[in-house]
Structure 1
Amino acid sequence: MATIPADRTDPDVALVLACYEAYARGDIDAAVAALHPDVEWIEPEEFPGGGRRTGPAAVAQYLRDSHALWRELTSEPTPYRRGEEIVIVHRIHGRLADGTPHEMTAADVFTLRHGRVVRMHAYADPADVL
């Protein structure tokens, strides 16, 4: 299935991008507000704290821990559509808590139903998705 640039005015795309904006400013409650109560959230094992989580509270804790790794953080999400899925190529850069410059790019694949995120699967290498 082809992955194409997404229309940022698409309500589902706008919802997901709002979550990234909330994460970037450290507002984790807003970042998880659109998650379904039974959301499945999968981060690559090689990421700090990576693995599978279920439910908004578990995802919120992961995002808090992840955000705490950064002293300065710039988030640059680029949305794509792949059928019903929203793929975000997420470039993140800044300074880690110890002052070390760091940058990374990952891909996050979202499944939404009725305006709620029901699943997110992240990939360390965007080429694995695109």
Structure 2
Amino acid sequence: MTSSPADPVNPADPADPADPDVALVLAAYAAYARGDIDAAVAGLDPEVEWVEPEEFPNGGARRGRDAVHAYLCASFAMWRELHSEPVAYRRGGEVVVVHHAYGVLADGGALDVTVADVFTVRGGRVVRMHAYADPAEVL
């Protein structure tokens, strides 16, 4: 589910962190950044649809909390040192997160990347996440 171009994200207007959907999503980023993958997936619907760009390491579509847990474990293992700076925005019923991640990879190389993740939250659970390698596709 995506919004139309008539419903853009305003990068100058971050979402209210007290919004329960925004708080849920940002808590997952914080958990991931500290390596607590169990907490990172706690707010996911058991049948969550999770789509990462094909060009990402282990990219592609997954269904279910367990599949996302395995993906996030593998993703986190790629980092020796991770800095995570997510900024959330509201776009209609979606929470859009522009995520700046940088640090040192397990192999010693550096990585500095900014992506956009679009979350659909229903009934206090993330039911869908679609990631974009280029935030301009969402913004």
Alpha-carbon distance in 2 for matches of 1:121, 1:127 = 14
Alpha-carbon distance in 2 for matches of 1:57, 1:38 = 9
- 1:51 corresponds, among 45, 60, 64, to 60
SS in 1 for 2:54: coil
Shift in Å at residue 102 of structure 1?
A: 1.1
Residues 15-57 of structure 1, C-alpha deviations (whole Å, 9 max, x = no match): 1000000000000000000000110000000000000000000
Q: TM-score, normalised by structure 1?
A: 0.98
- 1:23 corresponds, among 32, 45, 49, to 32
SS in 2 for 1:59: helix
Residues 63-119 of structure 1, C-alpha deviations (whole Å, 9 max, x = no match): 000000000000000001110000000000000001111110100000000100000
Q: Which runs of 4+ in 1 moved over 6 A?
A: none
2:8 alignment partner in structure 1: 2
RMSD: 0.6
Which structure has more strand as a fraction of its residues?
A: 1
5+ long unaligned stretches in structure 2: 1-6
Q: State the percentage of identical aligned residues.
A: 68
1:62 alignment partner in structure 2: 71
5+ long unaligned stretches in structure 1: none
1:106 alignment partner in structure 2: 115
Alpha-carbon distance in 2 for matches of 1:79, 1:33 = 19
Shift in Å at residue 2 of structure 1?
A: 2.6
How many residue pairs align between the two structures?
130
